[in-house]
Amino acid sequence: MPAFHEVLMPVRISYGASFGPEFFTKIGRTDGGFEQRIPVWANARMKGDVAKNIHTSAEYLTVLHFFSNRLGRAYGFRVMNPLHFRVADQNLGTGDGVEVDFQLRLEYTDPLFTGFRDIKKIADTSFNTATVLELFSSGFVAPVVKEDGTPNGAVTVDINTGVATFPVAPAGAVVIEADFDFHEAMRFDIDYLPASLDEFESLNLQSIPLTGLLIA
């Protein structure tokens, strides 16, 4: 069995949860109090906690079933981050007349730097469509890959790897861009899922942490 299940965590659970990027930095301090900071990860990994949005027994059972089928921390899965799941006009590089495969990615830009993060899990309507449409009236944006701003309908996008493949290599200096919705690749960061009811029969869940995965 693969270490990643191509299944989307129910959006009713991930909607309202907390998500954010995490880096890993080693910090050494001298006797004089100065620091040396060494970034260990080239890109951030997403972290999240979905306990906040679970209020009813039905919602708990939804998470319980999903958690049990992932065997706790054993298997990864897709998660929709409602704060950041759609990009438009994302630059993927330029053609050279040879390369036909382009990895979908996110670009992070500020006045000093431009960084990229590869996106491997692309959204489409095969994942919990009705639930997603209920929460996001616009539905999903199907991947569109463009050459110098013109959509190329012959390009195929592998939703499990995020690779866009052209039937013919784009010519040199042609700018490749894409519009797409995406999921985060994550797993549970616990093997134990405790819950309780208080005296008012309110569901009590302290934390259900998720951690991001790097997909080769």
183 pLDDT tier (thresholds 50, 70, 90): very high
Say if residue 109 is in the same domain as residue 169: yes
Q: What range defines the domain where residue 73 resides?
A: 1-83+183-216
- Reference 76, options 148, 16, 146, 4; nearest CA is 4
Structure tokens at 216: 């080769």
7 and 76 co-located in one domain: yes
pLDDT at 104 over 80: yes
188 and 168 assigned to the same domain:
no
In this predicted structure, what is the pLDDT of residue 19?
A: 94
CB distance 51 to 64 below 8 Å: no
Q: Do 95 and 177 belong to one domain?
A: yes
Give yes or no: residues 98 and 16 share one domain. no
**79 in the same domain as 2:** yes
pLDDT at 133 over 70: no
* Beta carbons of 69 and 10 less than 8 angstroms apart: no
Cβ 129 vs Cβ 181: under 8 Å: no
Q: What is the pTM of this model?
A: 0.89
- Sorted by sequence, the CB contacts under 8 Å of residue 48 that are 6+ apart come out as 14, 17, 18, 19, 20, 79, 81, 184, 186, 209, 210
The answer, yes or no, to whether residue 107 has pLDDT greater than 70, is: yes
Same domain membership, residue 153 and residue 90: yes
**How many structural domains does the chain have?**
2
> Are 113 and 99 contained in the same domain?
yes
- Any residues with CB less than 8 A from the CB of 185 and at least 6 apart, and which? 4, 76, 77, 78, 79, 120, 121, 212, 213, 214, 215
Instruction: Choose the most confident range, by mean pLDDT, from 49-58, 186-195, 196-205.
Output: 186-195
**Residue 141 pLDDT class (50, 70, 90 cuts):** confident
Does residue 78 sit in the same domain as residue 90?
A: no
* Confidence check: pLDDT of 94 > 60: yes
Instruction: Reply yes or no on whether the pLDDT at 132 is more than 60.
Output: no
Burial 94-121 (b: 16+ CB within 10 A, else e): bbeeeeeebebbeeeeeeeeeebeebbb
